[in-house]
Structure 1
Amino acid sequence: MKNHIKLTMITPEKQFYSGDILSLNTQSDDGVFGILANHVPMISQLKPTVTTFIQVDGKELKAFTSTGVLRVLKGEVEMLCSACEWPEDIDVERANEAKKRAEKRLDTDDEVSLKRAEGAVLRSIMRLKTKG
């Protein structure tokens, strides 16, 4: 049995990451979960979060991952995300401004607008958390 997994992270603009890893931790609507080698096949809807993974050389990496879909099949993990960013690429000022704008929009009776504002606040918070 293999002790590693092939991880591919893709955004609409590019392939963000591709490589062999030992483990991955991310979050779906059902909560935080981890994936190790020989994981059962699955598909999950992703939430904006700080995704962490350990490469086969032991180096731990973290990235902001936005909404998307994760699939595990035959020793491979594919993450299709609206956005992925390394901590060093996150613009803190921009994330803080987006959070403030979204928080102002939270005071609404329109359910669709409220959901969008909540999503924007969560994305901003997770970007800032990824940055550290």
Structure 2
Amino acid sequence: MSTFLLEIVTPERTVYAEQVNMVSVKGVQGELGILPNHIPLVTPLKIAPITVKKQGSKDEVLAVNGGFMEVRKDKVVILAESAELPGQIDIDRARAAKERAEKRLADAKQDNVDFKRAEASLQRAMNRIGVSGK
């Protein structure tokens, strides 16, 4: 089975760079499954987990918090605001962030709460908690 290079890059570092068989992501227009030799494409990504499939190994799931994906013939690059492997996620910090965001959203009737920012914070926390599997 053929493969392609998947690179997941954040402003701080390269989080992932390996040969894979498939990657599944959630773009703003819906879910996408990318296989080798996919047509070239650039799309914005949602705050959501991505799934990486490699032959002979268990699927890998990463928490990707927005960004863009560029698909080339033999390479896929995901430029993310942040991305974490399950082992890199601080679950206690993610749960605390979730609680703070939920409290802000509950208090959203007050004018000093930035609803979109609180909602994005909640999505990021839920994404991390879901990927960590804890």
* TM-score (normalizing by structure 1): 0.90
Give the Cα separation in 1 of the matches to 2:73 and 2:130: 32
Q: Is the 8 A contact 1:4 1:56 kept in 2?
A: no
Partner of 2:120: 119
SS class of match (1:19): strand
CA deviation vs aligned residue, 1:4-51 (integer Å, no higher than 9, x gap): 111111011111111111000111122222101111111111111111
Match runs of 1:51-90 below 5 Å: 51-90=50-89
Give the Cα separation in 2 of the matches to 1:64 and 1:93: 16
Corresponding pairs, count = 131
Q: Work out whether 1:130 is the aligned partner of 2:126.
A: no
Match runs of 1:5-84 below 5 Å: 5-84=4-83
Q: Is the 8 A contact 2:36 2:73 kept in 1?
A: no
Give the Cα separation in 1 of the matches to 2:58 and 2:4: 15
Give the Cα separation in 2 of the matches to 1:12 and 1:118: 22
Post-superposition offset of 1:55: 2.4
Give the Cα separation in 2 of the matches to 1:102 and 1:43: 31
Q: Is the 8 A contact 1:20 1:56 kept in 2?
A: no
Give the Cα separation in 1 of the matches to 2:96 and 2:57: 36
CA-atom RMSD, angstroms?
Answer: 1.9
Post-superposition offset of 1:3: 2.0
CA deviation vs aligned residue, 1:71-117 (integer Å, no higher than 9, x gap): 0012210001111111111111110110111112213255x811111
Give the Cα separation in 1 of the matches to 2:119 and 2:4: 33
Answer with 50-59 or 34-43: which moved more: 50-59
Give the Cα separation in 2 of the matches to 1:65 and 1:37: 21
Aligned letter for 1:108? Answer: A
